[in-house]
Structures are given as C-alpha cells and as structure tokens.
Structure 1
C-alpha cells in the first residue's frame, strides 16, 4: 500500500526533526462543514483543526499530547516529532473522514476557532 495514496488529499511533509501532515482546505469533504455553515464553519484550516481535535480526543486519546495543530485559513496542518504517531493519526483520521456517519458525529462536537 502506498502511504501517500492512502492519505490523499492530505500530504506528508518531513522537516529536520519534525513531521507534518497538511491539507489544502476547501476542496475535500466541504459538505461536512456546510451542515454548520450558519454557525460560521467554512471548511478552512481552522475548522479542520477543530474537527481533528475532537477526533483525537475521542478516537485516539493516546495521541493528544503528541499531535499538535497549526492551521491557517487555507491549510490544515498537524505536526509532531513522532513520525509513527502522526502516521497513525492521519491514517485513522482519513478513514474517519470517509465514514460519513462517524465524521458528522465528531463534527457535531467541533467548536468554532
């Protein structure tokens, strides 16, 4: 299995001692965020980070202190110095994003940043 294909449209970035997984916000799964557009959700990087935080807290709590988020308006970004933990996160998060029922349930508890 090809890791890059498995996490697409998220993408992996390696730095010196840090690893990131990012997403150009706006194109992927925009229908998730449209369900709460009247509350101000747009599907930007901050909204993705809010969703990802709920995912980590509820689905991968052992990663709470290992995975950090650094979103921008146009980009979601999660990072860690632990590559294996970040890979565990993004593979599970991508799988959750593809599960309509699960991702909507998680998003119902996301808070606007």
Structure 2
C-alpha cells in the first residue's frame, strides 16, 4: 500500500516516523465525538484518555496478540499509540480505523469500555 493511500485510509489518524519508533495519533474533539457523548454522564469526553481506553478495549477483543507491542500515550487533546514494530502498528491502526467506521461494532465495543 502506498503512503498516500495509507494516509487516506487511516485519516483522521496520522502516522509519525520517529528515530527509533513509529506512532499514530489523533487530535480529539471531532471524530466520533457523538459516540463519546452517548456516555457523557459517565464522564466520557472524547479526549485522548477516552480514545486510549477504546483502543485498549479494541486490542483486547480484536488483536490480543498486539497488546504487548502497541503502547499508548494519551493527552487531553490527543491520542497516540506507538511501537517499534511499524508493521504491527500499521496493522493495528488499519483494523481500528475499519472498526471505527462500522457504527454497530464501535458502539458495541464502547459499551464495554471503562473510563480511565
């Protein structure tokens, strides 16, 4: 998959190459915000920490073999996942982005997410 096609497939997430690792990030507050609003009374805001909790639930259910490989570094306004294994991170973000586009699957997964 060429770089341009990959970037468009994972958008609004974006890929960053670092010297010794790779990361994929999302500026929070717009993408899938309506999903987080469904549990606003529980404290979900759609911030980086909420995205981190959702990504961890995704890994646990869909890609448990990558749980030890993919690491998370959330902030209030951004979610980031990183790894030294570019292929593993690429597999993660492509599948996670695909699930995010399937409303019934992402809503079902989000019901099992606990606030961090």
1:40-93 Cα shifts (integer Å, max 9, x gaps): 000000000000000000001110100010000000000000000000000000
Q: What is residue 44 of structure 2 aligned with on the other side?
A: 41
TM-score, normalised relative to structure 1: 0.98
Aligned to 1:66, what secondary structure does the other structure show?
Answer: coil
Which residue, out of 86, 89, 94, partners 1:86? 89
Q: Following TM superposition, by how much is the alpha carbon of 1:109 offset from its aligned partner in structure 2, in angstroms?
A: 1.0
- In the TM superposition, residue 111 of structure 1 has moved relative to its aligned partner by 1.2
Counterpart in the other structure of 1:7: 10
C-alpha displacement of 1:27: 0.8
CA RMSD of aligned residues (A): 0.7
Gaps of 5+ in 1: none
TM-score normalised by structure 2 residue count? 0.96
Say how many residue pairs are matched.
113
1:84 alignment partner, SS class: helix
Q: Which runs of 4+ in 1 moved over 6 A?
A: none
Q: Which of 71, 74, 77 is 1:71 aligned to?
A: 74
